[in-house]
Structure 1
């Protein structure tokens, strides 16, 4: 019963709404509310600020949620560990990825699924870096793929995968892109379609432009790398895209993907997991695969335009 009460509290903290929390837990709203009330009685502290509607957790509730997430994660890790000892690893692994790196996720999930045929994988490919780190620390996902910048929080383990570099994606007829490389200054003068400014991938691109004394003014912004390719295909736009995405789409017919220089910059991308021991058996298995897989080599060759 305690595990169920903790699950309900965590769901309420995540959904911030009684009805939605009950729906995700597959119970009625009165059942969820009553279970949380009983937990409050057992702990002898108020956990939820109640009014006509959900008003948030009390300070005590916020602390209990942290413990609940740890307890539930340890329970799940124990179940996975015992299952792995019996029949091999099974269950569901959850991976989060920033959109700019999601094109490389299959380079890990492929060998992982081959090594662990009883495991299913859920990939959330449109998370922001801050959300990935939060969800890893809160045990909402087993692992994440994101930028390995210098201010990563304590309590996470990292495995470098590759260095992200950028290419100018444009039409084959664009005169600027006829050489072996293009400067960031030349790229800034083209009609650009870029990721939205809220995304770390876009802020990284803006930082490189700024290093060259430039400030791009894109006419179109999107949160999807696939949408960038679609806009370039129309012939009206150029874009700056991560090289890793050429692994997914190649260089579509009628387009060119040209390395960007002056400055030539790379940004490390890697796997992040919770450093808490013993931790998720799924995460440990994925780390083993990541260390055996040369993701950088798989992404190294620039596909030729068709």
Structure 2
């Protein structure tokens, strides 16, 4: 059995198409098909349901893919570990992030890159929290910055980073924009642009609105926090954004960021990794940086609203 055969099988499982899997592996489709056929012969089980087109993996194939992902992840972790012992940490780390936390990820990556100058970073942003956990389990990313829900803390290793809190982003000319605070009930009556309902960040907002006894009816929904800022800038819409994003865009001209109260609840954002040992040397190095970096302090103060006037 060759590592390359396992890579082909994992790629086929991911791409669900022989030609796309071959392209992802930089080989011809016949070469990929033949390697998988030989793997089937060696394991003495059918791995792929073949017809006129790709019809999916067999039950045996689905189980073998899980083992293949583990074996390939351990191989990569071993190579990284040996490389780190010989010349220092090098290679590529893959970090996933939910949209609401993407603006804070740079505050973690900056000290990480300073400590490990030979490492390159691949940030996979705007992922749903469910997709992040799946990618971690499938070894498609090394670590993630996401919501630390109860089920996450139970099944993964986590490092709390900061408390996500929320502000009403609105026009400086709006009545609420001239206030020092606003309530969730007041915000619900504005023409809102919010994240889509399938995203964890939006579900958190809906819980807070429900706690205030209201239910928002946004006219515009998007999967991008940057798009929320763009819509508010038109002057037609208001939005609710995580305070961490104000440290990326500041408070754009003509806008105000008003802290939300009643309730004034926060949600924990943290670093998430698989619980397997010894695990990825990249993830361990990022964990050390996360424990030494005070993201909460860096994000604590809101930018001065006066800059937008």
Q: Bin the TM-score by the shorter chain.
A: over 0.9
Q: Distance in 2 between matches of 1:253 and 1:8?
A: 51
Structure 2 residue aligned with 1:296: 296
Q: Distance in 1 between matches of 2:37 and 2:246?
A: 53
Question: Residues 138-184 of structure 1, C-alpha deviation per residue, up to 9 Å, x if partnerless?
Answer: 11100011100112275410000011011000011111222211000
Question: Residues 100-138 of structure 1, C-alpha deviation per residue, up to 9 Å, x if partnerless?
Answer: 100000011000000000000000111100111111111
Structure 2 residue aligned with 1:40: 40
Q: Distance in 2 between matches of 1:258 and 1:60?
A: 55
Query: 1:210 Cα deviation (Å)?
Result: 0.9
Question: Residues 244-288 of structure 1, C-alpha deviation per residue, up to 9 Å, x if partnerless?
Answer: 101101111111101100111101010000110111000000000
- Secondary structure of 1:282's aligned partner: helix
Question: Residues 57-80 of structure 1, C-alpha deviation per residue, up to 9 Å, x if partnerless?
Answer: 111111111110110000000100
Query: What is the TM-score normalised by the length of structure 1?
Result: 0.98
Structure 1 residue aligned with 2:275: 275
Pair 1:187 & 2:194 matched: no
Conserved? CA contact 1:45–1:60, under 8 Å? yes
- Secondary structure of 2:298's aligned partner: helix
Question: Residues 225-256 of structure 1, C-alpha deviation per residue, up to 9 Å, x if partnerless?
Answer: 00000010111100000111011011111111
- Secondary structure of 1:105's aligned partner: helix
Q: CA RMSD in A?
A: 0.9
Q: Distance in 2 between matches of 1:27 and 1:126?
A: 30
Q: Distance in 1 between matches of 2:153 and 2:193?
A: 32
- Secondary structure of 1:120's aligned partner: strand
- Which 5+ residue runs of structure 2 have no aligned equivalent? none
- Secondary structure of 1:78's aligned partner: helix
Structure 1 residue aligned with 2:52: 52
Query: What is the TM-score normalised by the length of structure 2?
Result: 0.97
- Which 5+ residue runs of structure 1 have no aligned equivalent? none
Q: How many corresponding residue pairs?
A: 306
- Secondary structure of 1:157's aligned partner: strand
Q: 1:131-170 to 2 correspondence within 5 Å?
A: 131-152=131-152, 154-170=154-170
Query: 1:212 Cα deviation (Å)?
Result: 1.1
Moved over 4 A (4+): none
Structure 2 residue aligned with 1:215: 215
